[in-house]
Every structure is written in structure tokens, then in C-alpha cells.
Amino acid sequence: MLPIPSASVPRPRNVLAHTFVLAAALFATQAVALQPLITDDTSTQGSGGNQLEVSLNQSRITTRGVSDRSGSLAAVYTRGVAETVDLYAGGVYVHLHTGGGQHEARGAGNPTLGGKWRFLDATAEGTSAAAKLEFLMPVSNSAETAGLGSASMGGNLTFILSQDLPFGAIHVNASAGRLRYRASGNSPDSTPMRLSAAPVWQLTPQWRLALDLGAQWVRSSEQRVRTGFVELGAIWSPNDDLDLALGVIQTADNQNPRTRALAATAGLTWRFR
């Protein structure tokens, strides 16, 4: 799952990159049943099932003609501990180019631990619901200062609704989290919230196309920022245990000057026992 690039705190520009990487840690390293989307679905691995996800993400964030670039390599391992309960752990390696290329940083971002519980199995009408809780483990103070992550623990809670439809399915997410900073005095703690929906078209037994639409609101002591996003994704499943996915995301916030981002992701999902 790709992060939602956003400018959630004011300048300096290294804070913009800092915020983006925290969003990456919050959204990109979580377990996602449906790469490459931001929106998750209610699927779980089943008791004894395993899933490994790997994704490569590239983003460019532009404000007033100056661009920051970020790349990340994320991996998540998920274990089904019951038919409707998954536990997972994820990590991400981040490479930043900010301030028009004047600043560069690379290293590990925030590790993620979490779980998903599908509390409503699919009804006769094809409706299911789940909840997902995840925690961001802290990085070092020096890594936070460099913009690679948060030196304090954070978290996120997501509610998921999935509905089967004649063309495929639609998934709806509502989430709220907390990002906490320690070393960077000019980066106030923030509360991100996200609402999104993703219709997924089952074109053939192997091919799916998806449109992911939504918005993220980030509130801090200094300001509130709304970032809208749209993603187009494609998923190829050569068999029941393997997915290969590509996605492209466009975002824009409501600030003046406006910050826009273009991001791309390529991912692999492997399920095994």
C-alpha cells in the first residue's frame, strides 16, 4: 500500500519530507489484502495461513515548482492466528531527496506491528466488516531529525467495510491515528484521519482493475490540512497464491501554495502455508 503524500505541517521543507515519511510508515507498511491500493479489504489469511508482501514506492512532492522525492522499499509478513484474525509485522527502508536535492537521507523507517479482525463474515448479501489496529514502533532521535520516521510510538485504527457486487466488490475505509514526534521541535504531534472507497472490477479470473478515491485530514496544533487522492491500480493473479500489482496515485492538498504529489508503486503478494 502506497503512502498518501501530504504537507501536514508548515515549512521548512524538510518538515514536509518528515511528514511524508511518517505517512509512509503509517500507511505503506501495514498489511494490505489488496495491493497496490490505499484502501484495504476485509480478507484474512485463515488459521495457519501466511502472507508476504513486498512493495517498491516512488513519490515526487512539488510546491512552488520545487520538488522533493522519496523512495521506499516496504515488506510485511502476516500470520493468520484464527480464521478471522491476522497479526502482522512490517518494515520500510526510505531514501529522501528534499529541498530541490539539497538534502538527502536514507535508512530504516518506523517498523509496524498490527492485527486485523473480521468481526462480520460475508452475509447472504455479500457484506463483511473488519477492524485493524496497528502501532508504529519508534526510530532513533537522529533518524527522526533526518526525516526517516518518528522517535515516539504512534498508531492507527481502521474500520473496513466490503461489499460484493456483480462487477466485483467495493471497499470502504475510515481510519484515525496519532503521530508523535520527539527530536524535531518544529514538527508538532499530528492526528491523521482518512476516509476512502475503492471499487474493484474483476475483469477476468486473473485480472482486476481498481479505482481508489479518498481524502486524508491531518490536524496538529499549528494547522489543519486536507489532502485528496485518486489512485488507479491493476492486479494480475497468475494463481490463487500470487498477486503482482501496479498503482499510480495523484494527490493535492488545500494549502496556499498548493502541494501536489505523484506516486507510483509496484508490489508482490505471496500467500502460503
CATH number at residue 67: 2.40.128.130
Domain presence at residue 139? yes
pLDDT for the residue numbered 189: 74
Q: What residues make up the domain containing 22?
A: 13-272
Q: Which of 11, 110, 27, 122 is nearest to 61 (CA)?
A: 11
Task: Give the burial class of 225: count Cβ atoms within 10 A of its Cβ; 0-12 exposed, 13-18 middle, 19 or more buried.
Answer: buried
- Round to whole Å and give the CA distance between 20 and 33: 23
Q: How confident is the model at residue 22 (pLDDT cuts 50, 70, 90)?
A: very low
Domain presence at residue 241? yes
pLDDT at 43 over 80: yes
pLDDT for the residue numbered 4: 59
Mean pLDDT across the chain: 87
Domain presence at residue 2? no
Domain presence at residue 3? no
The residue-averaged pLDDT of 173-201 equals: 85
pLDDT for the residue numbered 9: 35
Domain presence at residue 1? no
The residue-averaged pLDDT of 215-236 equals: 90
Q: pLDDT by residue (tens digit) across 238-255?
A: 999 999 999 999 999 998
- Round to whole Å and give the CA distance between 20 and 55: 17
Tally of domains within the chain = 1
Q: pLDDT by residue (tens digit) across 132-168?
A: 999 999 999 888 888 888 899 999 999 999 999 999 9
Q: How confident is the model at residue 204 (pLDDT cuts 50, 70, 90)?
A: very high
Domain presence at residue 6? no
